[in-house]
Structure 1
Amino acid sequence: MKKVFAILLSVVLMISILPVSALAVDIIDSGRCGANVTWTLDENGKLTISGRNRMYDYELAEDVPWYEHIEAIKTVVIESGVTSIGENVFTRCINMTSVTIPDTVTSIGDFAFYGCEKLPEINLPDSIKTIGETVFYECNSLTEVTIPDGVTAIEAWTFGWTENITTVNIPDSVTRIEELAFYRCKSLTEIVIPDGVTAIKHSTFSSCESLVSVTIPDSVTTIETEAFAGCESLVEITIPEGITSIGNYAFAWCDSLTSFEIPASVIDIIDYAFYGCESMEEYIVDKDNMFYSNDEHGVLFNKDKSVLIQAPVSGIRGSYTIPDGVRSITHFAFDCCENITEITIPASVVEAGSYVDCNSLTRFIVSADNRNYSNDESGALYNKDKSELICVPGGIYGVFTVPASVTTLNRFAFTENDYIYAIEFTGDAPIFDGDYLLYRYVTGYYPENNATWTAEARESYGPMITWVAYTPFIAGDVDGNGSVSNTDLVLTARYIVRLCDAETAAEVERYADLNDDGMITNTDLVMIARIIVD
């Protein structure tokens, strides 16, 4: 025992005679970061903040006094007495792995921990009452954060792009969650919104791909634009009575939602609120709702069913007949309905909508009494006089022929059609005011010697079309001059009485069989004469 004690005593004596520099960690830089706050950075990457009261705020990360050492910082210790963490002070400290915050700190400034991608955890003391904007943006090693009780707001972008965070515990003191607060938190699985929050703001939970459970309190009255857009794992969500407004794209691309119940309190559903919800089978509207309704197929309408708002993408299979009395079909109502094959449009419709990504749709059937729309034998949708081609069904295959009557192409006429490989134009170049007629490569045939088919006209349809000029087939135009005239009538008559040569006979047989019976007879002659007279 005495021997052990002697050894220990010797060690202590040796340490005591070593120079201080042999024990101390070298300070590589230091300075002031508040009126009464200083900082030191040692050779091990430890940044120590000490003093009393507030740290300075910095407009830019480059203005922070330790910016030149930003990649050397590994640990941060804020000592007791400091009352705030300034704006931008730790922005892009990409090698920071730990931070100690004392219970004297009451606020964290904007961007304080922005981009601290290796920080695995942060313990926020109960003394904190204010957390600024974008504080934990891209802190991709964080998995769980508990917001201290007493904090009243989660500001914009607070957890934006924090892709590995799975849990954020929000206290009841929070009454405001700002836009984009949890944008693209791809691993977040569950969120409980405290009672007292009145609005779910623009893109608050947008692109939270793993979010499966959301609790919305009765205090919420508004769900704003893209609030839950792209929450593809969200299987169900309960909208409490008291919600009055659902913003555009609010639940767009929520691919796992199969039904959506709309309470009586809702008075405003903005365009595209449920766009692209590929598993949606039905919309169910409370019977006491004064503004909206649904039919037996789960289709969403306004109250008197004069406006068809949204068809459930997965709910309609096969054919669907739009109820008589519907006047307007929203331009997105049937987009992405990949299981619908046929749509019947009644006489009452005056606005027909668009039909993007309806890849099984093969036919429109329009009531003959409709004053605004029509269809042809191919099943395509036109305006009444067929001067505008509105929509070629997405399920049509092969070559589509645009009638000569068409002078305008709707910007969605061919959008997302995956099966057409060629388009034949038979008349003048139609006007097109979109960017791309199609988004896949096809061949476009246009009549040669037609002055309207200029290079500029062809380019207006976008870069996806390979253009080929062709000689148009004109029934009755035996001499091939582009019109039917008395010359064609004479040549056909000479053929009938066998007074033409073999070359002319071949042209007559090709162009003069107007009744398509395989023979050239007086019937064809009469039909040619009528064309000339007309």
Structure 2
Amino acid sequence: MKTKKLILTRDIVDKQGILMKKSVIIPSHIIDKENNIDYEITAIENCVFEDDSILESIILPNTIKRIGDYAFSNCINLKSINLPKGLLSIKPYTFNNCIDLKNITFSEKLKTIGTCAFRKCRSLKKVKIPKSVTSIDSYAFKHSGLESFIHEQSDDLERVMIGKECFSGCDNLSEVIFSDNMKMLNTLTFSGCEKLEKLVLPKDLKTMHSSSIAFCKNLKEIYLPRYFQTMEENAIMDCPNITRIYWKGISYPQEIAELKFKSHL
């Protein structure tokens, strides 16, 4: 029997009778007896399950190495999914607006989380990002229900990048632990995070861009790393309850800290 690799498309899923079902198990192989071919499923094409409002749970085989853009976008009743162990990237909008998705376990080989990957996942409360991840793109968790975000520490020196508005509108976010390899806080990384009271920034962070932290009305304390260098104008914007900003064990009022790092002193 011949063996071939197969990318799962919407047509194939439809023919296999696994569209518009509550529970789906994707097989690792599809056997074509007529042509004596063993198809190994290695990827899911873009948009395959997009807008499937019936799907509640899906089990994926570890043979899958790629899941395409929008693959599960707007699956509003999807509650659970396992991510294959060899998955390297979560593509843009993969789980966008999966408002009932409660838990996600990431592959230990995962490298990137794409733009809007978990945007508007309002039932997603806690995520633990493996240390292998070096890029979380813009809007990845925007308007999600996150309460806790933890990025595991890595001994690798590879720089970690986080895009703009990554946690914008996460109004339940109260715990944030970053990998120390993050060098820069991007525009509106934290915007409208109303339950965030204390923010400890990673030890390798050097720069905060304009409006990196904005409209976090209950934020009281920010802890800057020892070798922090630059705070752009209005890096902290409309956070009325900040009392102190800490750096090298010394606390400063916000306006003094902004002046200090604007001048690179």
| Pairwise TM-score range, normalised by the shorter structure | 0.7 to 0.9
1:308-361 CA-to-partner distances (Å, cap 9, x unmatched) read xxxxxxxxxxxxxxxxxxxxxxxxxxxxxxxxxxxxxxxxxxxxxxxxxxxxxx
Deviation sequence 1:170-208 (CA, Å, 0-9, x none): 122471111111111111112122222110001111111
Q: Deviations over 1:209-229 (max 9, x none)?
A: 111222213321110121111
Tell me the amino acid that sits aligned with residue 169 of structure 1: I
Alignment of 1:410-449 (within 5 A): none
Question: What does residue 165 of structure 1 align with?
Answer: 146
Q: Which amino acid aligns with 2:217?
A: E
Q: Is the 8 A contact 2:174 2:196 kept in 1?
A: yes
Note the alpha carbon deviations across 1:340-395, whole angstroms, 9 max, x for none.
xxxxxxxxxxxxxxxxxxxxxxxxxxxxxxxxxxxxxxxxxxxxxxxxxxxxxxxx
- How far does the alpha carbon of each residue in 1:254-304 deviate from its partner, in whole angstroms, 9 at most, with x for none? 1211234678xxxxxxxxxxxxxxxx9764459998948xxxxxxxxxx9x
What does 1:27-176 correspond to in 2, within 5 Å?
33=8, 40-41=17-18, 44-50=21-27, 51-56=40-45, 58=46, 64-67=47-50, 70-162=52-144, 164-173=145-154, 175-176=160-161
Which whole-Å CA distance do the structure 1 matches of 2:49 and 2:179 have between them? 38
- The CA distance in 2 between the partners of 1:285 and 1:104, in whole Å, is 44
Q: Distance in 2 between matches of 1:289 and 1:134?
A: 32
Structure 2: which amino acid aligns with 1:238? Y
Partner of 1:212: 197
Change (3 A) 1:93 1:255: same
- For the 8 Å contact 1:206–1:229, the answer to whether it is kept is yes
Q: Distance in 2 between matches of 1:54 and 1:100?
A: 14
2: distance between equivalents of 1:65 and 1:282? 49
Runs of 4+ in 1 over 6 A off after TM superposition: 286-290
Offset, 1:230: 1.0
Aligned CA distance change for structure 1 residues 289 and 167 (closer, same or farther; 3 Å) = closer
Q: Distance in 2 between matches of 1:86 and 1:224?
A: 31
SS in 2 for 1:237: strand
Change (3 A) 1:128 1:194: closer
Whether the aligned pair in 2 keeps the contact of 1:260 and 1:284 (CA below 8 Å) is: no
Counterpart code for 2:8: C
Q: Identity percentage over the alignment?
A: 23
- 2:178 corresponds in structure 1 to 193
Residue 234 (structure 2) pairs with residue 249 (structure 1): yes
Tell me the TM-score normalized by structure 1.
0.41
Q: Is the 8 A contact 1:103 1:127 kept in 2?
A: yes
Q: State the alpha-carbon separation in 2 of the partners of residues 88 and 234 from structure 1.
A: 34
What code does the residue aligned with 2:95 have? F
**Contact 1:78/1:101 (CA < 8 Å) preserved in 2?**
yes
Tell me the SS of whatever aligns to 1:41: coil
Matches of 1:126 and 1:46, distance apart in 2:
25
C-alpha distance in structure 1 between counterparts of 2:254 and 2:87, whole Å: 50
1:126-184, Cα deviation, whole Å (9 max, x unpaired)? 1323221211100000100111221111111111110x211111122471111111111
The CA distance in 2 between the partners of 1:290 and 1:198, in whole Å, is 17
- Give the alignment of 1:221-300 within 5 angstroms: 221-260=206-245, 283-284=255-256, 291=263
Within a 5 Å distance, the mapping from 1:379-394 to structure 2 comes to: none
Change (3 A) 1:120 1:199: same
Letter in 2 for 1:88: Y
Structure 2 unmatched runs, 5+: 1-5, 28-39
Q: How many residues are treated as equivalent by the alignment? A: 238
**Amino acid in structure 2 at the alignment position of 1:154:** I
1:236 and 1:257 in contact (8 A); partners too = yes
Shift of 1:117: 0.1
Query: RCO (CA 8 Å, sep 6+): is it higher in 1 or 2?
Result: 2
C-alpha offsets along residues 66-119 of structure 1, whole Å, 9 cap, x if unaligned? 44x611212122122111221110000011111122313232111100000011
Please state whether the residue corresponding to 1:92 is helix, strand or coil.
coil
Q: For residue 227 of structure 1, what is the amino acid of its counterpart?
A: S
The equivalent residue for 1:397 is none
Aligned 1:472-511 pairs, distance under 5 A: none
Question: More helix per residue: 1 or 2?
Answer: 1
Separation in structure 2 between the aligned mates of residue 289 and residue 159 of structure 1, nearest angstrom? 29
Return the TM-score normalized by structure 2: 0.78
What's the CA shift for 1:239? Answer: 2.4
Q: Is the 2:74–2:96 Cα contact (8 Å) retained in structure 1?
A: yes
Residues 219 and 239, structure 2, Cα contact 8 Å, conserved in 1:
yes
